[in-house]
Each structure stands twice: as C-alpha cells, then as structure tokens.
Amino acid sequence: MKITQVTVNVLRVPVDRPYTAGGRTVDANWHVLARITTSDGVGGFGYVVYPRPDLMTTIGHAARELGEHLIGMSVLEPEAAWERLARRGDWVGPGGLLHTALAPLDIAVWDANGKTLGQPLHRLLGGYRDRLPTYASDGMWVSLSPDELAAAAKRHAAAGFSAVKLRLGKEATPEAEVRRVRAVRDAVGPDVRIMVDATESWTLTRARRAGRALQAAGIAWLEDPVHHQDVAGLAALRRELDVPITGGEHLYHLDAFRTLLEMRAVDVVILDLARVGGVTPWRKIAALAQAHRTPVCGHVVPEVQVHLLSAVPNGHMVEYVPRSVGILAAMPRIENGELVAPPAPGLGLELDEAAIRRYRVD
C-alpha cells in the first residue's frame, strides 16, 4: 500500500455547447488529474475541474511537484500524506493555489485507500447512507433570458430533478430578478423547489431588497447574496430574512468555516472540494458544521461529493453539475431525484483512457 508512482496531467475537456458565465465564453472544462500507483498494484485517481484555463497548467506543475513527496507514503494514512504536502507548500498557503494543487492528490490517496480496503468512499468515511437528493443547476446561467432559463429548468424537471438552481445578479432591479424566478416557476410547476445563487453580485443594501422580494416569490434558498468576506453582512441577512441563506464555496480553510459558523452567517454550508484541499479537510469542516447544527452541501463535482455527503449525518443535497462526463466511463446514476453513490471500492468511478489521451494538453 506504499505509493510508488504519481502522475499528473492537465486536460482540456470540451463542452458540448459553449456558454457565457462571469462574462467569459466557456468552451471547455479544465482538469488537473492526479493518479497514484501503490506497491501492491492498486491505482487511485483524483481531479479538480474548473471551466477556465487560467493557472490550470501552473496548478498541474504544483501538483506534480507536491506529488513527488507522496512516494513511499501509505494510502492508508491520508492524514499524514496531506500534512506532509501542506507543510511543503506552507509558505504559499494555507488555501489558494496550494489547496487546489493538493486536492487531486488527496482525492487520489482516498480512492486508492478505498480500493485497498475494498470499500466505497461513502462507507469508508462514515457510512450514513448511500444516496442523497440532488438538484440541477447546470445550464441555468445568468446570461440566459428568462425564456431560455425556463426551458433549461423544464428539461431538468423532465429529467427527474425535484429542485433546480438558477443564477441571478445581473438585473437592474429586484423586480426583474423575481421575473426570472417566476419564469422558472411557470415552467416547472409548484412541486419543484427553486434555489437562487446570486454569485456574490449584490451590495448588502441590494441583497436586503432582493432577498425580501425573492423570499415572497417562494425561493427555497438564497446563495452567496453578498461577497463571502462580508460575513457580518451574511449574518445580518440571515437574521432579517426567513429564506435560508447558503454559502461557503469560496472558503479555503477550516478556520474560515469556523468564523462563518460562529457568526451564524449561513443556514447551509457549501463546500468546494478543490478550495478546501480535498477529502481530508472536507470531513473536518462537515463535522464542525454538524456541531453548529448546520447541514452541508457540495459545490459541483457531484460524482465525488455524493460519497462525502452520504458519509455524514448532516449531508443535505448534491449539486448536479457534471463537468467530467467527458473523461469518465459513467456518471453515478440518479434514482427518484437522488444521486446514488457508486458501490464499487474507492470513488467507484472509471476513467475513459482514450478520452484522456485525446484531451491532454501536457
């Protein structure tokens, strides 16, 4: 179970239909893929994915350099492995690029750990359940017209999702934002929950007005209404509004989550697996949230997040944004609006090697 080999590749995986997000055209999902091999022939992999090329090659170089320090370590000791790599990069961390480079390696260690022990990750990490409700937010971009949003929501509802999330933040008035929600409501009917992600677009004053209007329109949660560093603003909104406030996908470190939770700033914590630095820190943040009676959700990467969220009692929902379909043999299946954690050991996922050869850029 000693790690004998680590390889890292950067992949540019084209999207079927290019779209605009954050003012940029997205035509590919960029991956940093780490693979490890152990002395008894077990392989493990992990990746981070982002819909932009910026710094991805640099993150790949950093992961490759950090990966050299995994050689000789045991995949049954992921805490020790994470600590060693974090110390190597502590002068540029914690957080930031260090965590993003560490995450694919840490996920690969856990994948190999599960394969060595013959257990799927959701059991290895706690074993609370094997599936979770999932919501669709893919394609619900802020750049779409209300009619286009409604059509996307309708497709998701027809595919069996009982909750959808749209992005807001570009309209001139709260009333115009509400019109986008109403268009989606008319398309999906009364039984599908509608969540809203304001992607940190608003000032606190604007978030108060929009929050009240959206709450009256019946949204199920309001995500990232203000910048993530305005924790006091988030806490004020949470006190003033009845609709659940969610956030956390921009945070890197356990200490930042502690502040968020101690300030009682959110009703649901959202974790980004790349920013927190992989599975090893993810578990601690989820446990901290549990101590604050707060449910946790994942940010994208549903095929991995489904394991982590199924492992803990306060796992809430999986965000279904499948950005890695192009490099996987299959995605986990969805049954009755729930995403099912793959039962095979480790991540229970299989890479499409031909696709990886095709999409490699280094």
Name the site residues for Mg ion (rule: CB under 5 A). 197
What residues have CB less than 8 Å from 317, skipping those under 6 apart? 132, 133, 134, 135, 163, 297, 309
Residue 49: how many other CB atoms lie within 10 Å = 21
Strand runs labelled E in the chain: 3-21, 24-38, 43-50, 131-136, 163-167, 193-197, 221-223, 245-247, 268-271, 296-298, 318-320, 334-335, 338-340
Cβ 220 to Mg ion shortest distance, Å:
14
Cβ 281 to Mg ion shortest distance, Å:
19
Q: State how far the Cα of 246 lies from the Cα of 290, in Å rounded to an integer.
A: 15
CB-nearer residue toward Mg ion: 43 or 133: 133
CB-nearer residue toward Mg ion: 270 or 340: 270
Cβ 142 to Mg ion shortest distance, Å:
11
Q: State how far the Cα of 274 lies from the Cα of 298, in Å rounded to an integer.
A: 11
CB-nearer residue toward Mg ion: 64 or 167: 167
CB-nearer residue toward Mg ion: 75 or 195: 195
Cβ 245 to Mg ion shortest distance, Å:
12
- 3-class SS string, 327-341: HECCCCCEECCEEEC
Contact present, 236 and 266 (Cβ < 8 Å): no
Map residue 109 onto helix, strand or coil.
helix
Our CA dihedral for 110, 113, 118, 119, rounded to 10 degrees, sits at -30
Cβ 158 to Mg ion shortest distance, Å:
24
CB-nearer residue toward Mg ion: 57 or 199: 199
CB-nearer residue toward Mg ion: 225 or 342: 225
Cβ 197 to Mg ion shortest distance, Å:
4
Residue 102, amino acid? L
By beta carbon distance, the residue nearest Mg ion is: 197
